[in-house]
């Protein structure tokens, strides 16, 4: 069995990947490394904004309770929230249903110089809409190619796209649901819809597997992130974000022409 997180670059089976994998790392030391990465991401955000010639979009998909919000809080702890645009895609509105399925997604892509976060995304069109039979197979199957072309267009237009699939086990999800039901401060996180989705666990796993295999392309590979341990999940995500920012090789912009002789009186 494969255990390690990976970029999806070929056909995979999710059963071959352990949601509880943590590379044998020490929890305390790894959390310290994640905090250091968060500080680095915060500093690189200034360079991203100062240059404003790229946008960085983090896209999260995963079963309920896999930790999408938790990952964002951890990775962006040192980031200026004014430079982060967050979108959470729920059931399409009447106006959104009157357009193609990518229309509302494109509108939410962050502007240059900013981070963007998609908590769920256009991939719901090949996940929930597939499992719940909202659209026929002929429709959701053709969406894979449309999604890949859309993402290629974004990348060609200087959007750094980081896609994270948070891989949680059914047993760990049950544990987190039980915690929500036993902790008054987390009651609000639980709904009947969570249990309805859980009843379709196998169908969703099949849909996620097809999603990963059909839409992990050279311009935007999927990161398969073990999510049973929050501290390891956050470390993997933070590492990927920091490396992507470093890969832009950003430098501080030079003083604008004509300002070199300015004297402040």
pLDDT digits (tens, 9 = 90+) for 240-259: 999 999 999 999 999 888 77
The tokens describing 144, both together, are: 């894979």
Is 208 a member of any domain?
Answer: yes
Model confidence band, residue 4 (pLDDT cutoffs 50, 70, 90): low
The tokens describing 172, both together, are: 């760990």
pLDDT value, residue 167: 98
Model confidence band, residue 91 (pLDDT cutoffs 50, 70, 90): confident
Contact 41, 242 (CB under 8 A): yes
To 10 degrees, the CA torsion angle through 197, 193, 221, 166?
A: -80
Is 66 a member of any domain?
Answer: yes
Q: What is the mean pLDDT of the chain?
A: 94
Q: pLDDT tens digit string along 22-40? A: 999 999 999 999 999 999 9
pLDDT value, residue 237: 97
In this prediction the pTM is 0.94
Is 131 a member of any domain?
Answer: yes
CATH number of the domain that residue 211 is part of: 3.40.50.300
Q: pLDDT tens digit string along 169-205? A: 999 999 999 998 888 888 787 887 778 889 999 999 9
Which of 108, 62, 105, 112 lies closest to 83, judged by CA? 112
Is 230 a member of any domain?
Answer: yes
Cα–Cα distance measured from residue 154 to residue 148, given in angstroms and rounded to the nearest whole number: 10
Is 77 a member of any domain?
Answer: yes
The answer on pLDDT for 3 being more than 60 is: no
List the domain range (segments joined by +) for residue 139: 6-246
Is 261 a member of any domain?
Answer: no
**Total structural domains within the chain:** 1
Model confidence band, residue 1 (pLDDT cutoffs 50, 70, 90): very low
pLDDT value, residue 2: 53
């Amino acid at each position: 069995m494969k255990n390690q997180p990976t970029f999806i670059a070929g056909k995979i089976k999710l059963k071959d990947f352990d949601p509880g994998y943590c590379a044998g790392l020490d929890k305390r030391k790894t959390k310290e490394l994640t905090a250091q990465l968060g500080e680095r991401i915060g500093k690189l955000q200034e360079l991203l904004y100062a240059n404003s010639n790229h946008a960085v979009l983090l896209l999260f998909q995963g079963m309920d309770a896999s930790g999408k919000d938790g990952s964002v809080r951890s990775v962006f702890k040192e980031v200026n929230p004014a430079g982060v645009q967050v979108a959470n895609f729920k059931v399409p509105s009447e106006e959104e249903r009157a357009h193609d399925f990518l229309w509302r997604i494109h509108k939410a892509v962050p502007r240059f110089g900013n981070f963007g976060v998609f908590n769920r995304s256009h991939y719901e069109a090949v996940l929930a809409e597939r499992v719940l039979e909202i659209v026929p197979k002929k429709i959701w199957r053709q969406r894979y190619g449309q999604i890949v072309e859309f993402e290629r267009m974004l990348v060609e237009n200087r959007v750094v796209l980081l896609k994270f699939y948070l891989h949680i086990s059914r047993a760990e999800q049950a544990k987190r649901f039980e915690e929500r039901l036993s902790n008054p401060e987390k009651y609000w996180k639980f709904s009947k819809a969570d249990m309805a989705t859980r009843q379709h666990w196998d169908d969703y796993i099949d849909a996620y597997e097809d999603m990963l295999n059909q839409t992990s392309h050279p311009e935007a590979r999927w990161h398969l992130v073990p999510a049973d341990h929050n501290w390891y999940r956050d470390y993997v995500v933070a590492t990927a974000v920091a490396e992507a920012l470093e890969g832009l090789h950003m430098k501080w912009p030079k003083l604008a022409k004509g300002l070199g002789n300015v004297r402040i009186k």
